[in-house]
């Protein structure tokens, strides 16, 4: 029987995630962040399969837009290994597709539900997922990667670089409430896709965001704990082209990684990476995981 996810299901759902997705780390607060606690949470898109009081699997869907076109996502979907190949996953997938289609979604894709996502796609090591989505008409359309780097509290000392930049007219600081409107103005103009994630930084104490000013305007930023809280999650980060070559991006990144180390983490995840060489140079990061995004047209 399919029904709506309830707060009392969180413990069972977390356990299913832990045994069903062994390449990922799960704990109750993280699962809540992806489901009941999400800003875009829609109870009608949060479903569990229950049989005789036992939850066998669940799916969390998301509805939104991509370039002005209605789109659906599977943010998270897991079936307990004991109940696979019994039609549970197919039932959950068919129902979430129907509900997203009813909302007007033209396409559906897997996991890349920014700003709140667990991973930027399905881990390529989940062989069963590969066959499952292919069986149900999904196409593998993109590949993304995560990097990982070692961190410790005293790893980076950028004070001399910050002093140098101040002499050149640049100010680097931790963002606070007084900066928020200028930060949002900058993001909406230059990096609109990251507005949602950066707003999450303002929910943290201290604010998990560093910024760079030049002539009173924000020209760069770097964030952490914007997603997947308490996992050592870094990003997003961006700087204007006119600032490049001064080391601003590297300094902003290292400030965030230092904070992650002081939180007690020994490693930081740098997700959905494009500039691999940049991060390799700045923090000796290395490629950690490869993800595939599956996509399907939803006929009317």
pLDDT bin (cut points 50, 70, 90) of residue 24 is very high
Q: Are residues 19 and 121 part of one domain?
A: yes
Same domain, 30 and 132: yes
- Which backbone phi and psi does 219 adopt, to 5 degrees? -125, -5
Residues 140 and 12 in one domain: yes
Residues 124 and 251 in one domain: no
Residue 194 DSSP SS3? helix
The CA angle 59-61-67, to the nearest 5 degrees, is 150
* For residue 300, pLDDT beyond 70: no
Cβ-in-10-Å burial (0-12, 13-18, 19+) of 135 comes to exposed
Peptide bond into 206 cis (omega under 30): yes
Tokens (6 digits) for 92: 């959950």
161 and 260, same structural domain?
yes
> Each residue of 67-112: pLDDT tens digit?
888 999 999 999 999 999 999 999 999 999 999 999 999 999 999 9
User: 120 and 55, same structural domain?
Assistant: yes
Answer yes or no: is 227 within a domain.
yes
> Residue 274 domain-assigned?
no
Same domain, 167 and 261: yes
| Within-domain flag for 189 | yes
Helices 159-167 and 248-262, axial angle in degrees (round to 10) = 150
As a whole number of angstroms, the distance between CA 10 and CA 132 comes to: 25
Same-domain check for residues 117 and 215: no
pLDDT digits (tens, 9 = 90+) for 3-18: 999 999 999 999 999 9
**49 domain-assigned:** yes
* Domain span holding position 163: 152-265
User: Measured between alpha carbons, how far is 53 from 33 in angstroms, rounded to an integer?
Assistant: 24
Residue 246 lies inside a defined structural domain of this protein: yes
- Give the residue ranges of DSSP H helices in the chain: 10-20, 28-34, 88-103, 127-135, 159-167, 180-190, 195-201, 248-262, 276-283
Strand-pair category, 122-123 with 170-174: unpaired
Residues 176-191 pLDDT 10s: 999 999 999 999 999 9
Q: Do 135 and 40 share a structural domain?
A: yes
Domain contains 78: yes
Domain check: are 233 and 181 in the same one? yes
Q: CATH number for the domain including 202?
A: 3.40.630.30
* pTM for the full predicted model: 0.92
- Residues 51, 119: one domain? yes
Asked whether residue 222 is domain-assigned, the answer is yes
Question: Domain total for the chain?
Answer: 2
Asked if 88 and 173 sit in the same domain, the reply is: no
Residue 251 domain flag: yes
């Amino acid at each position: 029987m399919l029904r709506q996810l309830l707060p009392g299901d969180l413990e069972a759902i977390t356990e299913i995630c832990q045994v069903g997705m062994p390449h990922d780390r799960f704990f109750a607060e993280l699962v809540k962040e992806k489901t009941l606690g999400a800003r875009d949470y829609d109870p009608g898109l949060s479903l569990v399969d229950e049989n005789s009081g036992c939850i066998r699997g669940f799916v969390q869907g998301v509805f939104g837009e991509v370039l002005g076109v209605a789109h659906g996502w599977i943010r998270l979907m897991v079936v307990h290994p004991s109940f696979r190949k019994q039609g549970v996953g197919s039932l959950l997938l068919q129902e979430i597709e129907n509900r997203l289609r009813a909302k007007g979604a033209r396409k559906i894709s897997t996991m890349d539900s920014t700003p709140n996502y667990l991973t930027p796609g399905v881990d390529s090591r989940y062989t069963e997922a590969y066959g499952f989505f292919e069986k149900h008409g999904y196409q593998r359309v993109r590949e993304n990667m995560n990097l990982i780097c070692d961190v410790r509290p005293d790893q980076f000392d950028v004070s001399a670089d910050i002093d140098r930049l101040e002499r050149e007219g640049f100010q680097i600081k931790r963002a606070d409430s007084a900066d928020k409107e200028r930060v949002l103005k900058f993001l909406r103009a230059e990096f609109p896709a990251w507005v949602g994630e950066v707003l999450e930084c303002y929910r943290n104490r201290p604010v998990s965001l560093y910024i760079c000013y030049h002539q009173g305007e924000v020209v760069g930023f770097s964030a952490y704990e914007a997603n997947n809280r308490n996992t050592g999650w870094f990003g997003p980060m961006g700087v204007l082209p006119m600032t490049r070559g001064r080391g601003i991006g590297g300094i902003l990144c290292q400030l965030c990684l230092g904070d992650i180390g002081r939180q007690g983490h020994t490693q930081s995840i740098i997700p959905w990476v494009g500039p691999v060489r940049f991060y390799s140079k700045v923090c000796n990061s290395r490629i950690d995981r490869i993800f595939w995004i599956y996509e399907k047209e939803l006929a009317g």
